[in-house]
Structures are given as C-alpha cells and as structure tokens.
Amino acid sequence: MRKTRNTMTTESMTTDPTTTDNTTTPNATTGGTTVAMLIGLGLTVIATLVALLDPQQTDLVGQHVREAYPQWDAGTVATERTAIVGWLVGVGVLGIVGWLTSLWAVRRRSRRALWLAAAWFALAVLAAGLTLGTGGEAYDVIVPTPLGLLSALPLVAGVVVLMRMWRDRAALAPA
C-alpha cells in the first residue's frame, strides 16, 4: 500500500500461487513436501520396527511359516522366520535411506531432487510388489499379508511427495 494525499491506494500484489499462506518465502513451497517426506520416513521406521520386533512380540511370521510347513522342526521354522524378517528389515532400511537422501535433496533445493525421489519410489514399488506378490511352494505369499501391507504403506506418502514435487518443481530448483 502506498499513501498519497491522505488516501490509500493498493498496488498490485503478487504472491506465489503454490503456497497457502500467500507468502513468497523460499521454503514455503518445500514445507508441505518436507512434511509428507517426514510422514513417509516415520511410516517406514514403524514398519521396519514392527518387522524387527515381530519374533519377540506376536510372532506373526513364525505362525505363517508353521501354517505353511507344519512338518518343519523349530530350527527350520526359525531360519525361515529370520530370512523373512531380514527381508522386511532390509527393505525398511533401504527405504529409510531413500527418504533421508530425498529429504536432503529437497532441503538443498537440488535440481535432481525430483528424479532422485522418483528413482527411490520406483525401487519401493518393486520391493512392495515382491513383498506382497512373491509366493513359495506352500505359501500363497511368503511375507504375511499384514506385514506386507504395513511395509507398503509408505508408498502412499511417496505418491503425495512426488505429486507435490512435480507441481512445485520450478520452486524446488535453486534460484
């Protein structure tokens, strides 16, 4: 606003249409993306911890193995359980690395942030497909469905992140 002879006139004001608070601060457009990434990171950490703690808590994986192979002895069931839990934890750790590197790229406003996040997302979709779709001799799916779905839940955050990054790709690039 500009004051001229005791009257107020409004000059044209421009704001960034991608922000909700009508500010033009550099981090206004990356804030929502960062929040979605932190949610995805949190979901990945939770899924990884649930898989890691399953043998001591509910032993869902052990029950799943025993249902598929009732003739197996306890040692063989334990080995199979360890392999399945190892897969889930390994995928979770890779997911955590993916979230952290993508978050780092967004916070640095790297031109490659979108493509880095998209590559990690593609790997996550592949891992989720293997986790939810791979069967075995006596298994419908090797990983129990509840744990498989939990490990795939961060994909929802990944879709949100990629949509926001695509929409805000010009704002994410360094000035």
Query: What is the average pLDDT across 83-108?
Result: 97
The single-letter DSSP state of residue 58 is T
Segments in 54-168 forming alpha helices (H): 60-68, 74-107, 113-133, 145-152, 154-167
The pLDDT score that the predictor gives to residue 98 is: 98
Quickly list DSSP for 84-107: HHHHHHHHHHHHHHHHHHHHHHHH
Q: Is residue 16 part of a domain?
A: no
pLDDT of 13 = 35
Asked if residue 97 belongs to a domain, the reply is yes
Q: Examine residue 73 and state whether it is found in any structural domain, yes or no.
A: yes
Asked whether the predicted pLDDT for residue 23 surpasses 70, the reply is no
Q: What is the pTM of this model?
A: 0.80
Q: Which of 39, 16, 175, 171 is nearest to 106 (CA)?
A: 171
Cα angle at 28 between 18 and 26, to 5 degrees?
110
The amino acid occupying position 166 is: W
Determine, yes or no, domain membership for 19: no
Domain count for the chain, please give it.
1
Q: Is 10 among the domain residues?
A: no
Q: Would residue 1 count as lying in a domain? A: no
Confirm whether 22 is domain-assigned: no
Domain range for 117: 28-172
On whether residue 21 sits in a domain, the answer given is: no
Residue 136 reports pLDDT greater than 90: no
26-72 residue pLDDT tens: 454 578 899 999 999 999 999 999 999 999 999 999 999 999 999 99
Q: How many CB atoms lie within 10 A of CB 16?
A: 16
